Amino acid sequence: MSHPLPVTAPALIGLDWGSTQVRAFLFGQDGELLHSMQAPLGVSHHPGAAGVAAVAAWLAAWLQAYPGIPLLACGMVGSQHGWQAVPYLPTPLPLTALGQHLTRLDAWGRAVYLVPGVCHDSAGDGFRDVMRGEETQLAGLAAAYPELVAPELILTPGTHNKWLRLQAGQLLSLSTCMTGELYALLREHSLLAPLLADGAFDSDSFLAGVNAARDKGDWLHQLFGVRARGVQQQLPPAALNDWLSGLLIGYEIHGTLAAGGSVARCGLIGSPALTRRYATALRHLGVVAVCLDGERAASAGLWHIASQAGLCRPLAANLLLEP
């Protein structure tokens, strides 16, 4: 597949190389985004050397046209299933440190750099946590959204949700919740599955589930209550599905806020349908929710980290993705 080549001389190729998708960004000399594209070549289905070869073939036009410019990649490319495993940096982490700990490879006719992941070890509760990719989005938030009042908390809803606490340019902690995966398992493989159906978002049923999570701490019991509501026909299948969604999301939010203390603002980075649910729940609980564009933040973060590492010049104002 051919991809259009820009007239302006590029300075950097950036890759957000995740579990399912790869997003590529071609940056100009001042950080302006010249071109972007994506492909389903993530490391879950294209691991190791085979994945590297597949992405190289996909990027062939850029690699051949611009042999001298560096390439910076973040995400699962730096995992044990990616190109090469790179270390985690521990919290609390100044986001400016990311550019100082890149792993260099010489490949594809250029210097290739991999962004480190982040790990968190909470001595107080014994939890350990890791992530790759979200740290680059965090590094780019200020550049991507200069008008945004910095939120105290960032959430990336998805299969495995990351709750990220920020303060004065530092990532203080991270906490991962497997809410999305649990919901999918319940929808597809549990005794609840035959009782649930998709439908238009029912905010009343969803918020009733959020409230149940607030009022009832026995979440295993409450999950069976979904079945009881279904077999007694207290809610139709689509509304029952939203009640279950609200219950799971409610337990996640209540637990996170209780563990880390209350916050006034939370930024959300994820798909519109899912961030809508989390925004609805957070606003219901009195937290200001701001929906953010993850691709915009990732591209800004890649350029910002490259600038910190001396791979390119500092970002010129307002040249990255427009809102």
CATH number at residue 20: 3.30.420.300
Mean pLDDT by groups of 10 residues along the chain of 323 residues: 64 96 96 95 96 98 94 97 96 95 96 97 79 95 82 91 92 94 96 96 97 93 94 95 97 90 88 94 95 94 96 58 37
For residues 250 and 210, the answer to whether their CB atoms sit within 8 Å is yes
- What pLDDT shows up at residue 143? 86
Look at residue 108 and tell me if it is in a domain: yes
Overall number of domains in the chain: 1
CB proximity list for 220: less than 8 A, separation 6 or greater: none
Which residues form the domain of 70? 10-176+293-308
Angle at 223 between CA 222 and CA 228, to 5 degrees: 85
My answer on whether omega of the bond before 92 falls inside 30° of 0, hence cis, is: yes
Phi, psi of 159 (to 5 degrees): -65, -45
Look at residue 154 and tell me if it is in a domain: yes
Look at residue 93 and tell me if it is in a domain: yes
